[in-house]
């Protein structure tokens, strides 16, 4: 009977020790993996911020600075010239350059932050964006907001807007769609955004793992930022996504 | 030797609660789930020294009561750790079965002949600890609540419970036999229990220190 005692005790102890070690080992690997993943997400969002800044810098350089230089030259000519006719002509040119500069600034600020988003909320901004997109691409874009009184805070609305923007750009670029629909509904506890298209089927999470581009990664990092969850529904044709944002009113 | 281990075991048993109370406000919230276990160890140490050791009062009543309290201090821990109704129901069912089982075993109570029936309760508690710990491990992997498990007081205590219960399971199961067989000195085997008990209480103490906010 004594061997039974020792063997039994040994087996039980072995069981407990291996369970604990296994858990610790697994947790450490999981932790490393998550750390790595969030680093990647951060890198992706920093990279896209950088690219955005490059674009804005280019526009400032080529657009605004060009206009301003032209204006400076005109002013210089004006100070030197005494011919009445010349002056009228130069003043007209100056006016055009100033108008161009104003237009460039307007476009730039719009890029930095869609103005409608700030004033009218994310729903209106998306609607306007869809209207423009429809004109430019010939694809039918539908936007439906089922609960008109849902208010999404601007910071979250901005991210949501960018997420939908990337989804639509991808759908046009890779998906060859004819129709794209966004439906938003919910209440103060959660907001659900459904994205439905009739394009080429793709698996979001597969593509996310393999992708060389930054679009899907940006979507993930923005979702993480607004604490939203993404589900891909399985449908016969096209793609169907659901974004769920819990406690949309909470700003943290 | 025996006496020495005994003193250490009871000395280490009172420390966790004292250290907890000493700097209570500095301890993380999650630690509250462990307090019943600390209290139980404190009182069982005090009880053993005062009543069993000094006054030589029979410990069998106490031991049976101890098993009951032990089960419920552990059940409290898991009750607080889980949120979903599924888990709460599971713990509730486990506990109801335990109480029924406990009452049934009380009927066959005879003084000085309870080691066998005590061990059934221990087996049940061990099984309970295994099931709930595994469910808890699963939960922390899914929810990803902890950065490092080694620094989590709850993980340390649950590991301690698993180790203590596993290593003493066969001792309790076979104690009746070991006690009655005159070829062996039961105290030789009982030392395993005391050693593991010291180990568990040291882990409790470690858990208290890990529980201090940094
Ligand atoms: N709507 C879609 N239909 C079909 N495939 C898609 C769709 N959206 C994404 N994909 C696939 O997922 C891949 C990754 O997309 P992602 O947006 O990350 O990169 P990208 O669009 O190629 O580049 P970027 O967005 O950085 O300009 C794409 O290359 C494409 O193969
Ligand atoms: Mg893209």
- CB of residue A171 inside a 6 A radius of ligand 1: yes
Test mutation, B166, B168, B174, B180, chain A, max A CBs within 10 A: B166
Integer Cα distance of A200 and A213 in angstroms: 18
Cα dihedral sign, A9-A15-A17-A20: negative
Neighbours of A235 (CB within 10 A): 11
CA of A57 to the centre of ligand 1 (A): 26
Domain boundary among A86, A112, A138: A112
Together in a domain, A4 and A98: yes
DSSP codes, B125-141: HHHHHHHHHHHHHHHHH
Please write the tens of the pLDDT for every residue from B49-60. Answer: 888 777 777 778
Cβ neighbours of residue B83 under 8 Å, at least 6 residues apart?
none
Average pLDDT value for chain B: 88
Measured between alpha carbons, how far is B23 from B29 in angstroms, rounded to an integer? Answer: 13
Q: How far is A13 from chain B (nearest CA, A)?
A: 5
- Is the separation of the CB atoms in B42 and B13 below 8 Å? yes
In a domain, A251, yes or no: no
ipTM, two decimals: 0.85
pLDDT tens, position by position, for chain A (252 residues)?
678 888 999 999 999 999 999 998 988 888 888 888 888 888 887 887 788 888 888 878 877 888 888 888 888 888 888 888 888 888 888 888 898 888 888 878 777 777 777 778 888 888 888 988 888 888 999 999 887 767 788 888 888 988 998 999 899 889 999 999 999 998 888 899 999 999 999 999 999 888 887 888 889 888 988 889 999 999 999 999 999 998 888 765
Q: What is the phi/psi pair of residue A126, to 5°?
A: -65, -40
pLDDT given for residue A252 in this prediction? 58
Q: What domain range is A127 assigned to?
A: 119-246
- Domains held by chain A: number: 2
Residues A98 and A167 in one domain: no
Please give the DSSP secondary-structure letter assigned to residue B212: B
Per-residue pLDDT reduced to its tens digit, B6-40: 889 999 999 999 999 988 888 888 888 999 999 99
Pair (A208, A138) in one structural domain: yes
Going residue by residue through chain B, which has 214 residues, state the pLDDT in tens, using 9 for 90 and above: 778 888 899 999 999 999 999 888 888 888 889 999 999 999 999 988 888 777 777 778 888 899 999 999 999 999 999 988 899 999 999 999 999 999 998 888 777 777 788 889 999 999 999 999 999 999 888 877 777 888 899 999 999 999 999 999 998 888 888 888 878 888 888 888 899 999 999 999 999 998 887 6
pLDDT of residue A164: 93
Domain boundary, last residue among A112, A131, A148: A112
Which residue range(s) make up the domain with B199?
2-211
Closest atom of ligand 1 to CA, residue A177: 1
Give strand pairing partners of A185. Answer: A192
- The pLDDT score that the predictor gives to residue A151 is 78
* Domain of residue A157, CATH code: 3.30.565.10
Domains in chain B, number = 1
Cβ pair A104, A59 in contact under 8 A:
yes
- State whether A125 and A98 are in the same domain: no
Side-by-side strand order, sheet with A228-233: A140-145, A179-186, A190-197, A239-246, A228-233
CB < 8 Å & 24+ apart, contacts of B16-23: B16/B41, B16/B42, B16/B201, B16/B204, B16/B205, B16/B207, B16/B208, B17/B41, B17/B42, B18/B42, B19/B205, B19/B208, B19/B209, B20/B208, B20/B211, B23/B212
Spell out where chain A has E strands. 140-145, 179-186, 190-197, 228-233, 239-246
Measure the CA–CA gap between A3 and A53, rounded to whole angstroms. 74
Is there a domain that residue A39 lies in? yes
A133 and A20 housed in the same domain = no
Query: B131, B133, B155, B170: best mutation site toward chain A, by most A Cβ within 10 Å?
Result: B170
Q: Which of A78, A97, A112 is the last residue of a domain?
A: A112
The pLDDT of residue A222: 86
Two structure tokens written together for B123: 């087996």
Segment holding A131, helix H or strand E:
helix A122-137
């Amino acid at each position: 009977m004594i061997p039974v005692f020792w063997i039994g005790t040994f087996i039980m102890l072995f069981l407990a020790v291996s369970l604990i070690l296994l858990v610790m080992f697994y947790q450490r690997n999981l932790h490393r993996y998550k750390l790595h993943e969030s680093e990647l997400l951060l890198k992706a969002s920093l990279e896209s911020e950088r690219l955005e800044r490059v674009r804005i810098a280019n526009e400032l350089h080529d657009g605004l600075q060009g206009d301003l230089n032209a204006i400076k030259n005109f002013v210089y000519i004006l100070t030197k010239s005494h011919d009445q006719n010349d002056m009228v002509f130069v003043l007209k040119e100056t006016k055009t350059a100033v108008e161009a500069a104003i237009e460039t600034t307007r476009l730039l600020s719009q890029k930095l932050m869609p103005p409608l988003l700030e004033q009218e909320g994310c729903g209106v901004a998306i609607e306007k964006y869809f209207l423009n997109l429809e004109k430019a691409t010939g694809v039918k874009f539908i936007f439906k907001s089922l609960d008109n009184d849902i208010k999404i805070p601007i910071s979250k609305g901005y991210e949501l807007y960018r997420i939908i923007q990337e989804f639509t750009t991808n759908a046009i670029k890779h998906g060859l769609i004819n129709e794209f629909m966004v439906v938003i509904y919910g209440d103060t506890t959660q907001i659900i955004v459904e994205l439905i298209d009739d394009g080429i089927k793709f698996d979001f999470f597969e593509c996310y793992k393999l992708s060389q581009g930054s679009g899907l990664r940006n979507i993930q990092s923005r979702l993480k930022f607004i604490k939203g969850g993404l589900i891909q529904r399985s449908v016969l044709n096209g793609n169907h996504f659901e974004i769920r944002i819990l406690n949309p009113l909470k700003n943290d | 030797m025996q006496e020495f281990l005994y003193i250490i075991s009871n000395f280490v048993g009172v420390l966790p609660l004292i250290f907890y109370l000493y700097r209570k406000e500095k301890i993380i919230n999650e630690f509250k789930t462990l307090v019943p276990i600390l209290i139980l160890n404190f009182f069982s140490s005090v009880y053993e020294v005062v009543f069993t050791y000094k006054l030589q009062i029979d410990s069998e009543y106490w031991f049976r009561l101890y098993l009951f309290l032990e089960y419920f201090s552990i059940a409290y821990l898991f009750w607080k750790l889980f949120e979903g109704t599924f888990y709460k129901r599971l713990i509730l069912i486990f506990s109801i079965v335990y109480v029924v089982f406990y009452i049934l075993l009380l009927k066959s109570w005879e003084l000085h002949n309870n080691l066998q029936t005590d061990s059934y309760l221990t087996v049940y508690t061990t099984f309970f600890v295994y099931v709930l710990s595994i469910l808890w491990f699963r939960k922390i992997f899914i929810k990803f609540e902890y950065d490092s498990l080694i620094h989590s007081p709850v993980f340390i205590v649950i590991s301690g419970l698993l180790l203590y219960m596993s290593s003493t399971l066969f001792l309790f199961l076979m104690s009746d036999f070991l006690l009655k067989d005159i070829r062996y000195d039961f105290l030789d085997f009982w030392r395993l229990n005391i050693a593991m008990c010291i180990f568990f209480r040291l882990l409790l103490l470690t858990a208290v220190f890990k529980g201090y906010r940094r």
